[in-house]
């Protein structure tokens, strides 16, 4: 099918191919767990059965890490101490112990360095962050508009937020649409749901 015809098909809302588990190839439901492919640093879809192989103390070693479904607010984070250059940012721990900081932008996720002392001070203010799962969980901070919130979320939430910003950014400042999409994203978190509107556990 030519590209133009394919685009028309998508706009008409015709059914798209089902997503499949990256390990066993079976179709997965609309809401499904994910693994982090550490070789490529990207999340991949998985079925619940395969996801279980990578959870808990009996997890299979290798290139895949189970991405947990934990979403919880965090008190005590001082954004200024972390040097956040814009209103949205997320922080992940690498396996070696360093902290990687990024913020969504119209070009994707832009990275900057966090001084180790600043992260250590944040851990002291918010001890729950000492249990942040390396690679697969993130501290997500929002100081846009009137919000002042921080959350522990799966890294997939952060990737989703980056995608929303890239998709809806307009002009120099982002525009009304990107602000509305960002507000909706955090409304879902604050109302006890996932960033895509489904219910979550804490």
Which pair of structure tokens corresponds to residue 21?
């588990």
Note the pTM of the prediction, 2 decimals.
0.80
pLDDT digits (tens, 9 = 90+) for 19-52: 899 999 999 988 899 999 988 888 999 999 999 9
- For the chain, the structural domain boundaries read 17-66, 72-190
| Cβ neighbours for 194, distance < 8 A, ≥ 6 positions apart | 71, 157, 188, 200
Alpha carbon distance 70, 49 (integer Å): 19
Q: What is the pLDDT of residues 78-117, one digit of tens each?
A: 988 898 877 889 999 987 788 999 988 888 888 888 889 9
- The pLDDT tens digits for 148-161 are 899 999 999 998 99
């Amino acid at each position: 099918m030519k590209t133009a015809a394919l685009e028309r098909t998508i706009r008409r809302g015709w059914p798209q191919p089902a997503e499949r588990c990256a390990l066993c190839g079976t179709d997965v439901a609309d809401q499904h767990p994910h693994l982090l492919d550490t070789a490529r640093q990207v999340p991949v879809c998985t079925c619940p059965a395969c996801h279980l192989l990578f959870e808990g103390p009996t997890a299979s070693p290798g290139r895949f890490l189970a991405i947990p479904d934990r979403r919880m607010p965090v008190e005590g984070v001082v954004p200024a101490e972390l040097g956040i250059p814009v209103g949205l940012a997320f922080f992940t721990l690498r396996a070696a112990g360093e902290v990687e900081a990024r913020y969504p932008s119209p070009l994707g996720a832009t990275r900057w360095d966090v001084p180790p002392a600043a992260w250590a001070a944040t851990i002291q203010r918010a001890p729950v962050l000492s249990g942040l799962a390396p690679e697969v969980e993130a501290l997500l901070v929002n100081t846009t508009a009137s919000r002042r919130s921080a959350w522990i979320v799966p890294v997939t939430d952060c990737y989703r937020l980056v995608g929303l910003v890239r998709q809806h950014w307009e002009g120099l400042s982002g525009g009304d649409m990107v602000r509305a999409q960002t507000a909706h994203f955090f409304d879902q978190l604050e109302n006890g749901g996932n960033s895509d509107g489904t219910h979550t556990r804490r």
